[in-house]
Copies of this chain bind each other. A is one copy, B any other.
């Protein structure tokens, strides 16, 4: 029973929920999952490497990628463009390897349209209250900004309905174990398997 393609795994969730932390912890483990590298127009920070942390692009290069449909999804955030180059994603899953994308919920919706067969995981706070606590906990925001963020978070949580899985980020290690279990389980999903060869009995 061979698989034709690898899994496209999309890890998303509201801002502040800990997507980066969970994805970072997953990367430290010895899994066969590949990680998508985003393209961005923002300047590299100290220690960031082109092709590892990001593909650093000029605005002109980025706009060209948009026009050439070279991006699976993209968004502008705080004046900079961020996007997922489609080539590496396609090459990886076509080679039968799994790839994970850690992206914002708006981007995840676009990816869902292009890859309905993807595995969409929503990383959720244990409760909105806790999300609020985390946002407030940064201690640097005014009440107005906190309320605005809560409003955005509520909208993002409404988007949960388009996801296949909801993983609570109560503890990073638990969230990582759940994501690994989802990947294992998805490889066993009947509709992903080529089982025709099993049914064809040799006479």
Chain A interfacial positions (CB closer than 8 Å to B): 1, 121-122, 124-129, 150, 154, 157-158, 160-161, 163-168, 177-178, 180-182, 184-186, 188-190, 193, 195, 197-199, 201-202
Contact = CB atoms under 8 A, between A and B. Distances in A.
Which 3 A/B pairs are nearest by Cβ-Cβ distance?
Answer: A185-B185, A181-B184, A181-B181
B166 A185 contact: no
15 contacts: A1-B126, A121-B188, A122-B190, A127-B197, A150-B201, A154-B201, A161-B190, A164-B190, A165-B188, A166-B195, A167-B188, A178-B185, A180-B181, A181-B182, A185-B185
B124 A195 contact: yes
A202 to B, nearest CB: 7
B167 A198 contact: no
Contacts of A201: 128, 150, 154
A195 B160 contact: yes
Contacts of A193: 166
Nearest to A202: B129
A157 B190 contact: no
A86 to B, nearest CB: 26
A112 to B, nearest CB: 13
Contact of A198 (B128, B178, B195): B128
Contacts of A125: 198
A177 B183 CA distance: 12
Contacts of A157: 195, 198-199
Contacts of A121: 188
Contacts of A122: 190
B178 A184 contact: yes
